[in-house]
Structures are given as structure tokens and as C-alpha cells.
Amino acid sequence: MSDKQPQVITYIGKIDNLNRGEHFKNVTLKLEDQKLVNIKLDLVDESKLVLGRIYQFTVTTELKNETDTFLQCQSYQAMEDISDAIEIDRLYDIFYEVAPKKTSEIKKGIESFIKRIEKPSIKQIVEHIYHKFQHPFYTHPAATKFHHAYVGGLSYHTLTMLEIAEKFFDIYPYLDQDLMIAGTLLHDMSKIDEMTGVDGEYTTEGLLIGHLVMQAIDIDKTADLLGIEDQESVMLLKHMMLSHHGLPNFGAAKKPQIPEALLLWYIDTIDSKFTVLGEELEKTKDGHWTNALNVLDKMRFYKKK
């Protein structure tokens, strides 16, 4: 009989694969040095693990036979739950293609806009939904292919739109700043449930309902939970969600019919197109043409010398 005692080991890495069968469940974890380790999940509830996210696993080495061992998971935690902003930025840089801004900078910017909301009903809804989706909001892409299709793309796209919207407040003082900030913050939040991630696919709910309607439903449920479902601001926020693609052939359930909804459509369109154009120009030599861009009707653009 072997007298080898179980060892307790901590691994930090990105989930590369999740395997489930009738009599087994395990995870393949990619470590910082790109090595892969296989960890058995027999003793834990693995249902909350998400493919592609970074976790800390606490494991024990268990005997497989007289000479071989395997790794048995005792617990796991998402890195966003246990690490500070600097460590999260470092790990994201290792494991992902990431947004041009650090997650910590994006988060600081997003939360500064949330603090500016004054109307209680709007602030309550935004804070409730934001805290519910806070971790995936900073890791999720804004799309799987066309724009901001990288880790952190969703929050980076949202912050850029907020910064664009801010420029309009002094020029057009009739704009409701609280409503505009809230609508911008929430407009793509349901993409977290609409698609599984950068390398993922659209969910059944995403394909059948879509993030515009999904977000309007979430606002409705949140308002009901908070006891403010009858306030006009709730209806206006829902309208902004349903109309932010502008036209029915672009996926909008309604055309924009308040100023804030119209501006939301325009700045969403601007950022989704100009960000892609800027990324393509970065890869294009002076005096040459870009590739055809899907988000701009497959047009090509000349980069001046």
C-alpha cells in the first residue's frame, strides 16, 4: 500500500474545456504558462462554471493506483470575486484579447456615470441591474464577430457611448441626462445572456427573443421588484431598449420616439462603426485601402499618406 498523503494545490487558469458524461465530469484548465491540467469535479457543483472564464481551483491529489494520482476539485472561485483590479488586468492580458482600455479604467468610468444619476427610480433600476451583472459585464464581448468582439468589449463600448453622449448635454439641454446615462448603460446588458462569449454562440433565448426585448423585460421585472413599475421613467427606459437599433429591419421593435432614444440609436451606430474602422486603419499601410468592412456595408476606406 502507498503511504502518499493527499496534497492541497491551488491552480489559477482559464477554463479551456468542460467535460460532462453520465459517470464523470471534469475541467481542462489552461495555466499562465499555457500548460493544461485536468481536474475532476465529482465533489463540487460545476453548474456555475463558465467556459473561457478565469478561476482559482483548490484541489487535492488523489491516488488513482499505486503510482499515479489525479486532481480532485475541492472548491473554486471566479477570479473577479477574489482579486483586485490590478491582478484582474494582469490575468486578462495573459489569457484574452482585451479591450484597448484596462478593465480597472473602464470600471472607474462606468461607475462615475452611475453616480451622476439623480432621479431615484432610474438610479435604483440601474444599480440593481448593474450589480447583478457586474462581473460578466466587464468580461463579455459586445458581439461575437462584428464590433468589440473581444473580452471587455461590452463595457468598453458602453463607456465610449457614455463619453460621446456627454458631449451632447450642453449643446442640447432638453436631453434628460439621467435617462440618457441609464439607457446607454443598460442598452446592451442583456447581451450577457444573449450570447455565450467571444468564441461562443447565441443562446436559444438570444435567437428567439434578442437582447433588445430581453433588456426591456429585465427592466420591467426589476421595476416590479422595487415597487416602481408605474413610474413613467420605467416606460421610457423600456422604450429606449426596444428602439435602440433604430429601424425594424435593423432589429428594433419600435422606432425611437423620444429624444434620448434617438440619440442612443445614433451613438450606438457611431461607436460600432467607427471603432471597427479605426481598428482596420491601424492594420492598413499609408496610401492603401482597408479591407471591406461588414459593419459599413462592405465599403473600403483609403488611408491617406
- pLDDT digits 0-9 by tens, 174-222: 999 999 999 999 999 999 999 876 666 788 999 999 999 999 999 999 9
The pLDDT of residue 300: 96
Write down the domain spans for the chain: 8-81, 97-282
| 8-81: CATH class | mainly beta
Residue 3: the pLDDT is 55
How many CB atoms are located within 10 Å of the residue 248 CB? 11
pLDDT confidence of residue 142 = 76
Rounded to whole angstroms, how far apart are CA atoms 119 and 177? 10
C-alpha cell recorded at residue 253? 421593435
CATH top class, domain 97-282: mainly alpha
pLDDT of residue 151: 80
Helix (H, G, I), strand (E, B) or coil at 133: helix
Which residue do the cell numbers 479604467 mark?
Answer: 105
Three cell numbers at 42? Answer: 465529482
Residues of the chain with pLDDT under 50: 1-2
Packing angle, helices 259-282 and 177-186, rounded to 10? 50
pLDDT recorded at residue 80: 82
| Closest by CA position to 188, among listed 230, 149, 224 | 149
Q: Which candidate, 216, 209, 220, places its Cα nearest to that of 183? A: 216
Strands (E), the chain: 8-20, 25-31, 36-40, 54-63, 69-78
Residues contacting residue 177 through CB under 8 Å, at least 6 positions apart = 116, 169
Tens digits of residue pLDDT in 67-83: 778 899 999 998 888 88
3-state secondary structure of 168: helix
| pLDDT at site 145 | 64
Cβ contacts of 10 within 8 Å, gap of 6 or more: 56, 57, 58, 59
